[in-house]
Amino acid sequence: MAFTPLNALNEFLAVARRRSFASAASELGISPSALSQAVRQLEAKLGVTLLSRTTRSVALTAAGRRLFEQAGPAMSQALEAIKTASARAGEITGQIRITAPALAVPFVINPVLPRFVALHPKVEVEVQVDNRLVDIVAEGFDAGVRLEEFLERDMVHVRLTEPFRFVVVGAPSYLQRRGTPDEPRDLLAHDCIRIRSPTTGAMYVWELERGKKSWRVPVRGPMITSDDHLMIAMAEAGVGLAYLPEPAVSARLKRGRLRLVLEPFAPRVPGLFLYFPSRTQVSPAFRAFVDTVREIRLRRSPVGR
């Protein structure tokens, strides 16, 4: 049976997980050229091509995907076992990787992560902020954060927030200059800060509802972005109307820097959820993280939901 160097295998898995030599090299603490050479040596040893490389991207070949799917979990368990062996009795060690959209950062970073790090200082937590709909299994994440409408049916999910609304907001200066829309169709005559999906590249159609009736409005305007912070800043500057989660703009609404428009038509969503593939495959570190999420939820909810 041919011998496969474990160091080279671990380095390949890092590239496969991150889809980037530069990012994987930074994680491993080596140079991209050394990492590339190690992967090529592994490919030569196995007699197959594991990665398809271009100047802009890295993709798994069929053989690479098989190796990633079969060896990835085993390598993670082995590394976890090594860390656990050096831990004190009852101490949790390991690494957690989570992907979350910018909207969810306040609910992941504050208050969950400070509490979790205080309880489990030997666990390394990586949070990648990404507004794409990420395939957490394919990209090597333990969990992700999404709105309920984007959850896959076979995923376990844990509530992070209460339900909230998506609202249309505008700066007082904009509303004074352009007037206030009264009906969803009035948005077609306004400057709107449009949203491009980072997943599909398509323009997002603003969704509004009232009772059983709903509207999908293909708004127009002078600016396009997928970044909530930039959207809020431009709305405050009077560039146009913006469509945002209400929790993201609540402080600015209270201070009068933004105003709600079309409030009777604001749709309500069930909230944000932490999701992950299976209850039976989670590591002790991630199980402790989920326990911390639930603890924080119980503290913040008056009815313990």
Which of 33-42, 192-201, 206-215 is the most confident on average?
206-215
Residues in a beta bridge with 223 = 193
**For the chain, what is the mean pLDDT?**
85
Say whether 90-160+270-305 and 1-86 share the same fold. no
pLDDT in tens, 65-88: 888 888 877 776 666 666 655 556
Does 3.30.70.920 match the CATH number of domain 90-160+270-305?
no
Average pLDDT for 140-161:
84
Residue of 247 and 64 predicted with greater confidence: 247
How far, in Å, CA of 280 to CA of 292, rounded?
18
Parse the chain into domains and list their residue ranges.
1-86, 90-160+270-305, 164-269
Q: What's the CATH number for 164-269?
A: 3.40.190.290
- Positive or negative, the Cα torsion across 244, 249, 255, 260? positive
pLDDT of residue 3: 42
Full-model pTM: 0.68
Q: Roughly what angle, to the nearest 10 degrees, separates helices 112-119 and 284-300?
A: 130
Least confident span in 85-89, 104-108, 261-265? 85-89
Nearest 5 degrees, angle CA 168-CA 174-CA 179? 80
CATH architecture of 1-86: Orthogonal Bundle (1.10)
Residue 157 tokens, joined: 């999910």
In angstroms, what CA-CA distances link 166 with 43, 103, 120, 196, 265? 49, 12, 35, 16, 9
Residue type, 182: D
Percent of the chain scoring above 70 in pLDDT: 89
Residue of 164 and 27 predicted with greater confidence: 164
Residue 44 tokens, joined: 């030569």
pLDDT of residue 80: 63
